[in-house]
Structure 1
Amino acid sequence: MIFLRYENWKGYLRYYPITSILLAANIMMYVVLLIDGGPNNALTLMKYGALTNIPPWNEETWRLFASMFLHSGFSHLLFNCFALLVFAPPLERLLGFWRYAILYIGSGLVGNIISQAYYNNLTNPTLSIGASGAIYGVYGAFLYIVLFQRNLMDDASRKTIYTILGFGIIFSLGVANINMAAHLGGLIGGFFLYGLIIRLLKRR
């Protein structure tokens, strides 16, 4: 099972530096939100980069990146950080540091671009934040591996991926205030980005 973690914290930092940086960035930005208005304050979220369909802020492209590191509450932060902590490390080891960083950020951007396009067509004002799009990009990469590189993953890990995706779809459809567009966009982005990366950016 590739998703079981046995490293101590020093080993984790050594083997998964990009994942560690992403975790630290999520936690740091949550602390910033707590200090400056709170993670449920719409004005605070807008200030630090939440996606919105409200003009003219919906045209600010920097929000596509910044919103990936904002979370609306401790449970939101905990859920995404747990997923990142447990499921991302095998992909970082497989791809290498910088190729993994490209996939993670790229998937998050794809998810947010699709999300922004969807919400721009709605009349009600919306805010969207969170690392879920990028994390679903990690799941999308593993889905590619499950389908086309089966020799890289054991049977138990393949079943885990199917279970995660199944619960993810149910969760995205059944829970209010979930950005399904970002989840689906990140999943698709991660799937295709992984395929491109392993072909175009060969690992030494």
Structure 2
Amino acid sequence: MRNEWMEIFSQEGYRFCKVKPEETGVFYKYYEEGFHLVMFIDGTNGYLPVMGQLQVMQERVQELFYHPVGRLQDFPEGFPVYHVELLTILLTDQVENAKQLCAEGKNIWIYDQNSKQLMIYENQPGDFWGLKNRIEQMDVQQNRQTSAPAAAKRSIMQLPFVTGLIVIANILVYIILSFGGATEDAFYMASRGAMYPEFLTINHQWWRLLTAIFLHFGVAHLMNNMVIFCCVGSRLEKYIGHWKMAVVYFAAGIGGGLLSYIMMLLSGNYAVSGGASGAVFGVIGGLLWVVIYHRGKLEGMTTKGILIMIVLSLYFGFTSIGVDNWCHVGGMLCGFLATLILYHGKRQKY
């Protein structure tokens, strides 16, 4: 059993009882002729029971402590236990599998080992005798004790699959292009797949709406997009899943490029365009919908906060030179709509 969890329950007056399987332990605390029980399942090594197994484990633990006419070890003769309240905590990095257990079972919390966050779904108890706040305090203390370099390394290594793959792809494309010419040269970038209206209108090279997403004009352009994408992409992918994340990202990138193309045709102001910013704005738009779906608040994010970030980002773009603002607007709208269509998860309590 992990030391930080042992410390939490010990400070709250719980005692520990080892049960089978070995990944499972029970913390128990006596109160007025009854017990508060927390069955803790450490699934970080890949172990996670199926629904039937979990129900049997819960029933056996309750039977172990329910003794209205008997006695328990370490307690006086005739000690009665009339009430048993049980909570199950799943410590896991397989959140998607654990979600199914929450959907079908009762009194189950998930602790996401990757994000170090407690996840409580709408059909589960919002608290268990003050444990929710105590666990969240542990998260804050762990974050404070983690050094900045270690935290950065952990963040990079623990990026969700699709988010990490997209970041790697953008970096590799930039490195390859850097060996062939100047990435800040518009003519060079256009020759390598950036978007320019006449290539689409005359040559029908619509594939440029896709390739342009991976082309960045200089290392600063690349780094700015990837840093923001790591922050927002890792969160969105956790909520909506891998393949949906890929759909949102590319729908936003292509949609943003398409709106940029249309606005260039209407205005007559043609420019070579490229970069992942339209897709990144789409991911932010996706996060906006997820937060709205969860009644305007989710894991420290609020609808108001995301809207303020979007407004400020767009304002900065429209007051700057050389920014493809319509790509940002189109990407954000496409990302929002794509997530609205794809995401229908269970609402959570925090």
* TM-score, normalised by the number of residues in structure 2: 0.52
Say whether the 8 Å CA contact 2:159–2:230 is kept in structure 1: no
CA–CA separation in structure 1 for the residues paired with 2:269 and 2:315: 25
Amino acid at match of 1:131: A
Structure 2 equivalent of residue 31 of structure 1: 175
1:129–1:40 CA distance, 2 compared to 1 (3 A): same
What are structure 1's unaligned runs of at least 5 residues? none
1:128–1:12 CA distance, 2 compared to 1 (3 A): same
Q: Does 1:140 align with 2:276?
A: no
Amino acid at match of 2:281: Y
Task: Note the C-alpha offset of 1:180.
Answer: 1.1
Amino acid at match of 1:66: T
Higher relative CO (CA 8 A, sep ≥ 6), structure 1 or 2?
Answer: 1
Q: Give the alignment partner of residue 103 of structure 1, picking from 239, 245, 248.
A: 248
Q: Does 1:119 align with 2:264?
A: yes
Structure 1 equivalent of residue 213 of structure 2: 68
Q: Does 1:48 align with 2:48?
A: no
Say whether the 8 Å CA contact 1:145–1:152 is kept in structure 2: no
1:46–1:157 CA distance, 2 compared to 1 (3 A): same
Q: Does 1:93 align with 2:238?
A: yes
Q: Deviations over 1:53-75 (max 9, x none)?
A: 22466631110000001111121
CA–CA separation in structure 1 for the residues paired with 2:301 and 2:228: 15
1:142–1:44 CA distance, 2 compared to 1 (3 A): same
Structure 1 equivalent of residue 88 of structure 2: none
Task: Note the C-alpha offset of 1:51.
Answer: 0.5
Task: Note the C-alpha offset of 1:169.
Answer: 1.6
CA–CA separation in structure 2 for the residues paired with 1:180 and 1:165: 12
1:93–1:152 CA distance, 2 compared to 1 (3 A): farther
Say whether the 8 Å CA contact 1:51–1:58 is kept in structure 2: no
Aligned counterparts, 1:71-86, within 5 A: 71-86=216-231
Q: Does 1:182 align with 2:327?
A: yes
Say whether the 8 Å CA contact 1:52–1:58 is kept in structure 2: no
Question: Which structure's CA Rg is the greater one?
Answer: 2
How many residue pairs align between the two structures? 199
Say whether the 8 Å CA contact 1:54–1:126 is kept in structure 2: no
CA–CA separation in structure 2 for the residues paired with 1:13 and 1:97: 16
CA–CA separation in structure 2 for the residues paired with 1:122 and 1:36: 33
Q: Does 1:165 align with 2:313?
A: no
Task: Note the C-alpha offset of 1:49.
Answer: 1.0
What are structure 2's unaligned runs of at least 5 residues? 1-114, 118-142, 346-350
Aligned-pair identity in percent equals 26
* TM-score, normalised by the number of residues in structure 1: 0.85
